Amino acid sequence: MDPKIVMYVNRVTEAIAKVNLEMGKIRSKVDDQANELAKKDDEIAELRSQLEEQGGEIEKLKNEAASPHHGESRLRELENYLWHQLKSAMIARLHRDSKKYSVSDKIHLVHA
C-alpha cells in the first residue's frame, strides 16, 4: 500500500478518535445539564404546588374576611377572651389583696 495513503488513513483515524472523544465530553456535559434541569424542574413543581396551596389558603381567608358575620364573630371572640383575661386578673388581685375588699365587693367583682 502506498505510504501516503497509510499516513492519510492514520490521520483520518486520529481525527475521528479526537472527534469521538470530544463528542463523549460534550454528551457528558449535556447529561449533567439535563440532570440539573430535571432537578430544577422538580423544585419548580414543588414551589408551584406550595404556591397553589397558599393561594387556596389566602382565598379561604379572603372569603372568611368578606363574610359579614366573620368580623362580628371574631370581635365577640376577642371580647370574650379579653373579658375572661380581665376577670382572671381581678380574681388574682382579689386573692392577693383579700384584706382590702369586703365580701360583697368580692362577690360583685367575680360575678360582674
Per the listing, cell 460534550 goes with 26
CA-to-CA dists, residue 85 to 33, 50, 57, 112, angstroms? 61, 37, 30, 13
pLDDT at 19: 96
Q: Between residues 65 and 90, which one has the greater pLDDT?
A: 90
pLDDT at 15: 96
In the chain, the percentage of residues whose pLDDT exceeds 70 is 77
pLDDT band at 14 (very low <50, low <70, confident <90, very high): very high
Q: Between residues 30 and 57, which one has the greater pLDDT?
A: 30
Torsion angle in degrees (nearest 10) through CA of 75, 80, 83, 89: -120
Rounded to whole angstroms, the Cα distance separating 25 from 96 reads 82
Nearest alpha-carbon partner for 106 in 96, 91, 86: 91
Is it the case that residue 73 has pLDDT exceeding 80?
no
Mean pLDDT of the chain: 82
Rounded to whole angstroms, the Cα distance separating 49 from 37 reads 18
